[in-house]
Amino acid sequence: MEREPSTQRWSMDEEDVSGDVRTVPHGRSLLSSSMVGSANRGRVLQTLFDLGPTSRAELARLAGVNRTTISGIVQPLLDQQVLVEGNPIRPSEAGGKPARPLWFSPDARPICGMMLMPDAVHTCLVTLAGTISAEHSVRFPVENPRIADIESAIETCTSRTLASARREPLGIGVAVGGMVDTDRRAIIAVNLAPVLNGFELGDMLTRRYGLPALLDHHPRALLVGDRWFGKGRGMQNFAAVYTGEVLGGALYLGGHLYRGRSGAGGELGHTFVQVDGEVCSCGRRGCWETIATVGWLRRQARAIGLDTPDEINSRRLVALAGAGVPGARDLLDLYARNVAVGIANLQQTVAPNFYVLHGDVVGGGEIMAEAIAGHVRALVPSRSGGEISFAIGETEDRAALLGAAGLVLSELLQFPL
C-alpha cells in the first residue's frame, strides 16, 4: 500500500517551524493541491528513511517523482543542511556517471527525545540519521514525590540536553511509561507513579521551551523508533512487544501506526489471557501482564529455589539454562511460552507477521527470541505465505529515546498515524 503524507506541514526551515508547527503542534489539516510540492517532499524523505543512503535517480524512481521534481526537492534540503551528499559510488559494470548518495546531515536540526518513567526522566538529542548524543537523566524523589518536584527534574534534565544543541531542535518527543492522551498531550495514568496522573506534560514543555512537543505511550514510541531508525524500517506491517516490569505493545498495520481513539488502543498488557487468573496492577484478573513480566519471573524463580531470584531476568535466565542449573531451562521455556500466548492472540487477530521484541527479552538474545518464536509458531495454525518472523530491538533506553524522537519525525513528515 502506497503511503501518502496526508498534510503539508513538513518544514526544516527555522521560520516555518516557529510559525506553523509550533502553533499547532499536533493538529491536522487536509492535503490541498497547492501543498503537493510538500507532499512530494515528504514522500522523498520517507523513501530515504526507508532505504538508507540513496542516489537522486534511485530516490526519484522509488518515490515516484521525475528528475526535475527531485532536484527541486533535494536542493533546498541540501542548502538547509538537512541532507548531505556522500562520496560518489561506482554504478554497476554498465558504467555511467558515478552517483552520490544522499543522506541526512549530522548538522541538520536535531530532535530532543525524552523517556519519562515512574521514577526518572531521561533526555537526549537525536540526529535525523538516528545518532544519540547529549544524554542526561534525573531521578525523581522516591518518598511521596510532588508534581512540582517532578516538573523541576524534567526541566533540569531537558535544559541540560538542549544546552548541547548547536541548532534549535525540531521538537521534543516523549515516550511515557503510562497511559497517554495523545490529542491533549497529557498523561492519563501511571500505575507506579499516580502523582503523574493528569499531568499536561506537552503543554508544559511547549510553554517552557517554545518547541512542539508530542507524547505517546512507551510501547508505541518503541514501534515508531523501529519504523524510522530500527528493524521496522520500510515495513508495512509489524508489531512491537515490550516486556519488563510491565508488558505492552503497539501495532503498525497497512502503513499506519494504530493508536485507537485518543491513544486508547494497544493496551496489550491488559488483554486477558487467563479467565480468573492472577490480579493485575490494573485491578483486573488474568491480564497478559500477570504471566509475562519480570515480576512474574522473579516469583517463579523464588518458587523453584533459584539463587538470588530477585536478580533474575532474561539475560541471567539464559545463562543459567546454558549452565545446566536445575529448573532454569524449564522456566525459560515457560516464560517464552507466556510471552508467546499474547503474541499468538495478536497474530490471530490482525496478523502483523513480524514482531520486534523489546525490553527484558532483548537481554536473552537469540535464544530467548527463538524460544518465543517456537511457541508462537506452535500456537498459530500455519498457512502458506503466513510466515511469522521475529527481530530483537535496540537496548531498552536507546529504543525508547529513538522512539520518542521518531514521534516528532512522524509529525514533521506528516506520516499517517
Contact positions toward Zn ion, by CB under 5 A? 270, 280, 282, 287
Q: Considering the complex, state which of residue 102 and residue 280 has its C-beta at the smaller distance from Zn ion.
A: 280
Nearer to Zn ion, 150 or 280 (CB): 280
Q: Is the CB of residue 411 less than 8 Å from the CB of residue 214? A: yes
Smallest distance from the beta carbon of 286 to Zn ion, in angstroms? 8
What span, in angstroms and rounded, lies between the C-alpha atoms of 14 and 206? Answer: 16
Point out which residues pair with 251 in neighbouring strands.
239, 258
CB of 271 to Zn ion, least distance (A): 9
Closest listed residue to residue 351, CA positions, set 305, 319, 383: 383
Question: Which residue reads 546454558 in cell numbers?
Answer: 322
For Zn ion, give the closer residue by CB, 270 or 398: 270
Smallest distance, Zn ion to C-beta of residue 351, A: 24
List Cβ neighbours of 381 (8 Å cut-off, separation of 6 or more).
none
CB of 287 to Zn ion, least distance (A): 3
- For Zn ion, which is the closer residue by CB, 36 or 279? 279
- Judged by beta carbon, residue 212 or residue 269, the one nearer Zn ion is 269
Indicate the Cα dihedral angle 363, 374, 255, 212, nearest 10°: -20
Closest Cα partner for 355 from 336, 377, 373? 373
Nearer to Zn ion, 9 or 270 (CB): 270
Q: Which is nearer to Zn ion, 78 or 189 (CB)?
A: 189
In this complex, which beta carbon is closest to Zn ion, that of residue 167 or of residue 284? 284
- Amino acid found at 276: D
Which distant-in-sequence residues (6+ apart) come within 8 Å of 145 by Cβ? 193, 195
Closest distance between Zn ion and the C-beta of residue 277, in Å?
Answer: 10
Tally the C-alpha atoms within 13 A of residue 13's C-alpha that lie toward its C-beta: 9
Closest separation in Å from C-beta 345 to Zn ion: 15
Please name which of 320, 387, 384, 381 lies closest in space to residue 348, comparing C-alpha atoms: 381
- C-alpha cell recorded at residue 322: 546454558
Q: Could you tell me the smallest distance in angstroms from the CB atom of residue 167 to Zn ion? A: 43
**CA–CA distance, 133 with 392 (Å, rounded to integer):** 23
Nearest distance, CB of residue 243 and Zn ion, angstroms: 14
**What is the 8-class DSSP label of residue 261?**
G
Angle, helices 328-350/294-303, rounded to nearest 10 degrees: 150
Give me the DSSP letters along 82-122.
SEEE---B---TT--SPB--EEE-TTS--EEEEEE-SSEEE
Q: Which is nearer to Zn ion, 187 or 405 (CB)?
A: 187
Q: Is 9 within 8 Å of 29 (Cβ atoms)?
A: yes
Cell of 264: 486508547
Task: Provide, rounded to whole angstroms, the least separation between the CB of residue 296 and Zn ion.
Answer: 13
